[in-house]
Chain A
């Protein structure tokens, strides 16, 4: 700041010029009338999302830039044939290719990957409307860590019978040695395109004149090769501050039960039979931390939460014989991190029950619309070894689901509930387009956000029906009273509020009311569902507090009692968890009505057993890690020709020679 001022004052050198251009005021603060030279040169791009590097036992996937960023002359790609310009014909390599999302296809990306010495990077413009279909995931998700392998059901393994994700182009699992960033369709992108049109267009077939508009992307990833390599490098202890290069993916699983378990007593429980109801929490996208997973995961766990709420009343009045355990698994996208960890804990006596205590498993997969056909079979199917009989003549493997990890350990009766018979109906599986629009979540345009929260959409009604049936099936499976089954009904209002909170905006009054005061700031526009490495994922916390509020009981404890409930005679922290939640704001007041919720809801660590055992090259467990990086940014600027630079250098040399001669002589 001081040097800027001083610069301007010193000789009034280019002060006027700076003032004239500062009228443009594109990206700089208009506080000081004196712009620094940096602001004349670079335009920082603020709304970009990078693609990062992930590693597993054998491979690395994702994108990498060089340590001082990759600079390339911008080229806006118009069609697949236009690829010739950056890849062979263009005279100013390397190029930074700007793609519309319709051109973000496997063939174009592979061509650029093969000529990567002429491609400095790729920027994808993501529109607000989704293309007809797009899935960057593989065609056979989690094919090596499910229950089917070459030893068990080889004709069903590796999608030999059913290709689950036929639209998948596998881009998420390719390795690119140039950075790939995504841009939104906003003013910044318009500015970039205008810069390209002004400077980079070839006129009448001749080469475009310098200066050219260029972009520089920084996304240097520290980890290389595979997980065993990066974990080994994590352990190098040469300096006081060892540099970590990668972190295992993982977070927490959320589980809750009808009858509480003592959290300190692990292992097999005599005469205990449990029905597990499972759903998954996470999803992913090609770019980092923009996954919305509406049909892929949100629909499933919202249905399960609604079913849990529907069962609350009847299980208090007429408790079923068997316990029901609701489990929400994190990290399922990446080779079943959460469910493999829970199965591992059960096998090794580190969980409150063990595999022999499980009576059956009901998993909710991708659900979208009414699934009455499939669900009518639920009551009658006691389920064999994991085959889901849709039509009697077709035997079909299980879709990718957490149930597969349970079956891998022990034969357990189980069912996966999904809206697809064979291949996924989801056209945007594990992509950034799997959002509220994919679930047809539409609200009338004249509603305020609070009114939208309360509005019951069609999607919410369909999912409520599914939740009702799931709740009834669970109650029956758990040996509950048959006469009460028909009183179990899920609440559409709760379902629509959850759908709004998880897919449109989580900073609404209901979510604020159920969350803890210290966590209220993590609520923002739709949460994203990538499992991440920070062990603090927002959806996990939200599901934990929602499950607690929907299945637990409000108590009269004060805040300090809520933190130390063991001092009270009837409360026990071992049996329940006590959460202090914000509560609603009463109509004529500004203070929230906070209270203490007592629920049998717990978090358990969802980090792959491979990292507990140190088997980083494991074939049985997920070995996914995410690389670390220092900073990620993008900027655009003009580049001058090399001729001009050389002229400057030579003229300066001549200048010095002359002066020195005159001095010495």
Chain B
């Protein structure tokens, strides 16, 4: 539409992730490295899953719309599974790296706790996922026109931005919960994260029925936020401390 829509949607989609980056990650170079590596892992998972989808679409009849739609759904499910696999792979990599980092650091013990790495890795996944979701739409929102000529809703841009924001945050929370689950050897946590991810994906298929897709996704995000908070060691006591502006060492996630 115009610059107003462009900046509005960009801030909605990336504002929180960006401020999280500035306030919690940017000062520590090790966190930055883990963030970027996490983003890279997500990217590789997407590349591999998109290869599968691309081959499938090229091998079949492009005119058959139902088939193409089903292929897209299949491809997306495959991508979700692959993302979680890569998250697990990243966890294993970070655990191995932690020992090496502990050896070379000046302090006693590893420089980053697993919980910190979980948060940073999750945020890395989330930022890259958000970028790939939103950048294409954002660039088209700069022009003078808006969506709607062919019957789409005119709230396309803002709902895309809201969805991207939810997904970024969800990836962060999933990262925290997932790594904690792997740490404690609670394998059911991995299965739950995978199922929630698939549920979010299937809710997004309800677009443009935005009431049915955005509201449940945000509800899930809040639930995940609560779970991540408690699984990373937070408690109600910490929340009361927050409101009385006293710092607590245990607080690591937002």
Query: How many angstroms between the C-alpha atoms of A260 and B207 in the bound complex?
Result: 78
Question: Are A41 and B149 in contact, CB atoms less than 8 angstroms apart?
Answer: yes
Question: Are A659 and B65 in contact, CB atoms less than 8 angstroms apart?
Answer: no
**What 0/1 readout, one digit per residue, does chain B (206-223) give for beta carbons within 8 Å of chain A?**
011000000000000000
Question: Are A653 and B154 in contact, CB atoms less than 8 angstroms apart?
Answer: no
Question: Are B133 and A10 in contact, CB atoms less than 8 angstroms apart?
Answer: yes
B163 at interface by CB-CB < 8 Å: yes
Question: Are A9 and B19 in contact, CB atoms less than 8 angstroms apart?
Answer: no
Can you name the residue of chain B whose Cβ is closest to the Cβ of A69? B144
B204 at interface by CB-CB < 8 Å: yes
Question: Are A8 and B72 in contact, CB atoms less than 8 angstroms apart?
Answer: yes
Secondary structure class of chain B's binding surface, majority of residues: helix
Secondary structure class of chain A's binding surface, majority of residues: helix
Contacting residues of chain B (192-234) with chain A, CB-CB under 8 angstroms = 200-201, 204-205, 207-208
A317 at interface by CB-CB < 8 Å: no
Question: Are A644 and B154 in contact, CB atoms less than 8 angstroms apart?
Answer: yes
Question: Are B150 and A26 in contact, CB atoms less than 8 angstroms apart?
Answer: yes
A17 at interface by CB-CB < 8 Å: yes
Query: How many angstroms between the C-alpha atoms of A651 and B9 in the bound complex?
Result: 10
B44 at interface by CB-CB < 8 Å: no
Given A5-B50, A11-B133, residue A659 in contact with residue B19 (CB < 8 A): yes
Chain A contacts for B132, CB-based, 8 A? 3, 6-7, 10
Question: Are B204 and A11 in contact, CB atoms less than 8 angstroms apart?
Answer: yes
Question: Are B49 and A9 in contact, CB atoms less than 8 angstroms apart?
Answer: yes
Question: Are B144 and A651 in contact, CB atoms less than 8 angstroms apart?
Answer: no
**What 0/1 readout, one digit per residue, does chain A (1-40) give for beta carbons within 8 Å of chain B?**
0111111111111111101011110100011111011101
Residue of B4, B23, B136, B151 touching A648 (CB-CB under 8 A): B4
Question: Are B75 and A638 in contact, CB atoms less than 8 angstroms apart?
Answer: no
Query: How many angstroms between the C-alpha atoms of A67 and B8 in the bound complex?
Result: 26
A665 at interface by CB-CB < 8 Å: yes
Which of A12, A23, A655, A656 counts the most B-chain CB atoms under 10 A from its CB? Answer: A12
Given A10-B132, A33-B72, A663-B254, residue A16 in contact with residue B154 (CB < 8 A): no
Smallest beta-carbon distance A120→chain B, Å? 11
A216 at interface by CB-CB < 8 Å: yes
Smallest beta-carbon distance B196→chain A, Å? 13
Residue of A23, A34, A40, A653 touching B149 (CB-CB under 8 A): A40
Can you name the residue of chain A whose Cβ is closest to the Cβ of B18? A656
Residue of A10, A19, A213, A652 touching B46 (CB-CB under 8 A): A10
Can you name the residue of chain A whose Cβ is closest to the Cβ of B11? A652
Query: How many angstroms between the C-alpha atoms of A6 and B73 in the bound complex?
Result: 13
A649 at interface by CB-CB < 8 Å: yes
Given A9-B79, A12-B76, A663-B24, residue A71 in contact with residue B5 (CB < 8 A): no
Question: Are A13 and B144 in contact, CB atoms less than 8 angstroms apart?
Answer: no
Question: Are B136 and A9 in contact, CB atoms less than 8 angstroms apart?
Answer: no
B148 at interface by CB-CB < 8 Å: yes
Can you name the residue of chain B whose Cβ is closest to the Cβ of A644? B154
Smallest beta-carbon distance A189→chain B, Å? 16
Residue of A10, A19, A42 touching B65 (CB-CB under 8 A): A19
Query: How many angstroms between the C-alpha atoms of A15 and B73 in the bound complex?
Result: 9
Query: How many angstroms between the C-alpha atoms of A213 and B4 in the bound complex?
Result: 19
Contacting residues of chain A (626-665) with chain B, CB-CB under 8 angstroms = 635-640, 644-646, 648-649, 651-653, 655-656, 659-660, 662-665
Smallest beta-carbon distance A35→chain B, Å? 9
Which of A214, A656, A665 counts the most B-chain CB atoms under 10 A from its CB? Answer: A656
Query: How many angstroms between the C-alpha atoms of A1 and B68 in the bound complex?
Result: 16
B62 at interface by CB-CB < 8 Å: yes
Residue of B129, B146, B150 touching A211 (CB-CB under 8 A): B146
Chain A contacts for B151, CB-based, 8 A? 21, 24
Chosen A-B contacts, 6 in total, with CB atoms closer than 8 Å, are A6-B46, A15-B72, A37-B140, A638-B149, A649-B7, A652-B8
Q: Which A positions have Cβ atoms within 8 angstroms of B?
A: 2-17, 19, 21-24, 26, 30-34, 36-38, 40-43, 71, 195, 211, 213-214, 216, 635-640, 644-646, 648-649, 651-653, 655-656, 659-660, 662-665
Q: Which 10 A-B pairs have the closest CB atoms?
A: A637-B145, A648-B8, A33-B68, A12-B76, A645-B4, A37-B140, A652-B8, A659-B16, A640-B146, A656-B15
